[in-house]
Amino acid sequence: MLSTKFLFASAAALAALSGLANAQTNITDHDCASASEYSKCNRNVADRWSSCVRDCRGDGNCIVDCGCDSHQKYINCMAESCWNQVYSCKYQLFVQQYFAICPRAREPIPFWPAPDNAPNRCSCDLGKVTQTTLSSRNQQIKCMKDVTDHIRDDISSITDLSNIGNGLDIANRASDCACCGASASISAAWDICPHTKPTLAGADMWNLFFPTDLPNLYTSLPNWAWSSCDATLQESTCKNLGFTDTDKFYKPGDYPSNGTSTLYEVGGRVTAPPSGTVLTWSQASATYTVTATGYDRKAVASQSEYRATATDDEAFPSQTSDGAAASLRAGVGAVVGAVVAVVML
């Protein structure tokens, strides 16, 4: 018989993941190169996602797999018929969401992060912020593993109480790992997107990728909290611990001044499929081949004259507001919590 805990966690994951079934429709179809094809593709993915979740009959791992596969197929919809929006803020946020809810998501991902100076790119390089968070998580896990290995080695070498200080040193190193990893992720938002509101740039994203209750990651620090890292970051040298993808490691009480801008697109428009006519990419055991559809002139005409003629670094009207990005991350946070609960059962 399934435990109550499993049923509750599965129900939470089911509800949360089902709520994301239309996530890709955050990109309005009339902005796409082929509006009708994009709308049709999205509907098909959403329908199949819902059916997949129902067929799981409460199996948590199955539900997570449905979410992974559906996000991949939404990416295919973009490559096929909305390739002119793949550098936009909303697509970059969607890929961030994919990494957050899918444990087997791996780079490379089509059109992500957006190349430097890409047309219609997001004003904040959300892809680079997310990449820094992902690499910091991996470096933090390696750092904690090194600490665990040291614990085993040191325990076997302790023959008397005179060596008890080694254990305290190990605990301090574990705290350094946790603080440096979180700081590297948080600091990226200020360093990569200094003019953007930090929460929109991803300053709070580390909570999605560094769940503090994840077993085997914080076992030596059961009461660890980011707010406790002020003193630790004063003493630790994060680069010496293997954190190499960021230059700044801000402390909880010592952030730079906040930016004030929302997210918007800059740099003109995408006039041809960035990947060429045919795109091939892979995730886990799946390999996809996607053919881009033709440019829908009516979709272009429906956009503003300013959008159609903007070039260089002229900014489009704000597309992603505080509420949109914050709502997306809040929804993803609920999903991640449910997914972690299911996977850890």
Mean pLDDT of 70-76: 96
Largest distance between two CA atoms of the chain: 80
DSSP state of 262: -
More confident call, 306 vs 15: 15
> Token pair for residue 46?
């959403």
pLDDT, the chain, mean: 78
Nearest to 273 by CA among 250, 290, 248: 290
Q: How many residues does the chain have?
A: 345
pLDDT at 183 over 90: yes
Q: How would DSSP label each residue in 142-160?
A: HHHHHHHHHHHHHHHH--S
Mean pLDDT of 246-268: 93
pTM across the whole model: 0.79
| C-beta of residue 316 within 8 angstroms of C-beta of residue 307 | yes
- Structural domain boundaries in the chain: 4-123+262-343, 128-241
> Token pair for residue 75?
């990416």
Taking the CA atoms of the chain, what radius of gyration do you get in angstroms? Answer: 22
Predicted pLDDT at 296: 43
